[in-house]
Chains A and B, each alone.
Chain A
Amino acid sequence: MTPRDTAEDRADRALVQRAFKHLTGRSGEPVQYALMDDTPVGVLGLAAVPAGLLRLEFIGGEEPFVQRLLALFPDQPVERSWALDKVRRELERYFAGRRFTFDTRVDLSGLTPFQRKVLGETVKVPAGRYTTYSRLAAKAGRPRAARAAGNALHDNPVAIIVPCHRVLRGDGSLGGYAGGLEAKAWLLRHEGALL
């Protein structure tokens, strides 16, 4: 954990967990979230458990993001936290153009094997390059499943870190993106893959 995880932080968290358990019945492992307000691609929402990062999303604001987390993890407390400093620093380095790779552990345990495979192949595409939905499908072992690969990317729970923005249509057009095509184009230009 981070240096911010003091005995006081732990005591605070214990109280919140008791409140969640007694008042809402949520007693699982707490999901911690944080926001990054001023990135070049808008507001990002992060969510993590100790095993790794669960979500990195383009969000409209705190409340809809927390509501989605509460729906995605119905048995777990959700709490705002400062414990996501490390991934935030990595993202700041990314946006500053100093480093395009991430060491943050990602927890993809909630996905299907095919989704995991597609996302695993996506991670191998380096910054400054891009691939296509059909090539990605072939690499994931289903050469004719370009659309399914696109869907898997659409459900990518950790944008940017799993760089689904580096996957384009076969004709070179951008395709889709959860953060909007403007954000996708910005990321690709930032990495030097587009002029």
Chain B
Amino acid sequence: MTARLATDADALSLLLAKHGLELARHLRRLVRDDDVAADLLQDTFLRAHRALARLRPDSNERAWLYRIATNAALNHLRAKARESAVLERHARERAIEAPAWLHAEGPGDGARAPDPRHAAVWARVAALPERQRLALTLRVTGECDYDEIARRMGGTAAGARANVHQALKTLRKEFQ
């Protein structure tokens, strides 16, 4: 952030203007429910706005918003998974019900619906280390190539690839 704005609402508006559409797309793809995504989007920007004072001026504002949004969405999916513990066990037993991207060559165009059966997988995604979690969700839901992931998260394309690879390896081991 380069300038302090006249009012709090202005600072929030500035964040929303610059990043709102992109984050809306990210959240809609993650949770596949526009009303839930709308709530999460507002939570994300409120939380970001409250934390603005702590954000270092040189830090990557966009990566930071992606982190907040992804965590919010995964918390939501994890809560849903907890509600359906039976389904979770079911999914663990039957890998066929895991989302297609988990067993595809590489993710990219899978992960359409957060089918309750997939909630267990998303719950596990939520427990991955932060950079893996973020890289994987961008790869799976954002139709991002590795350059784009690096651009959004900060870091390099090779690093993004390594994070996605490691995340998939962990998940496949558990849901195979």
Contact = CB atoms under 8 A, between A and B. Distances in A.
Nearest to A14: B34
Interface in A85-123: none
B25 interface: yes
Contacts, number: 89
Interface stretch (A21-29, A158-166, A179-187): A21-29
Interface of B: 1-3, 5, 9-10, 12-14, 16-22, 24-25, 27-28, 34, 37-38, 41-42, 45-46, 49
A25 B7 CA distance: 13
Interface in A1-58: 8, 11-16, 18-20, 22-26, 33
Given A19-B45, A67-B3, A24 B18 contact: no
B16 A12 contact: no
B119 to A, nearest CB: 22
Interface residue tally of chain A, by bracket?
Answer: 20 to 34
A77 interface: yes
Contacts of A171: none
B44 to A, nearest CB: 9
Contacts of B17: 33, 66, 69-70, 77-80
B2 A23 contact: no
Contact of B21 (A16, A25, A63, A70): A16
B13 A15 contact: no
A33 B113 CA distance: 32
Nearest to B44: A19
A26 B1 CA distance: 22
A26 B13 contact: yes
A20 B13 contact: yes
A67 B14 contact: yes
A23 B45 contact: yes
B13 A80 contact: no
Nearest to B9: A24
B5 A67 contact: yes
Residue from A15, A22, A62 having most chain B Cβ neighbours under 10 A:
A15
Given A8-B25, A11-B34, A13-B21, A24 B41 contact: no
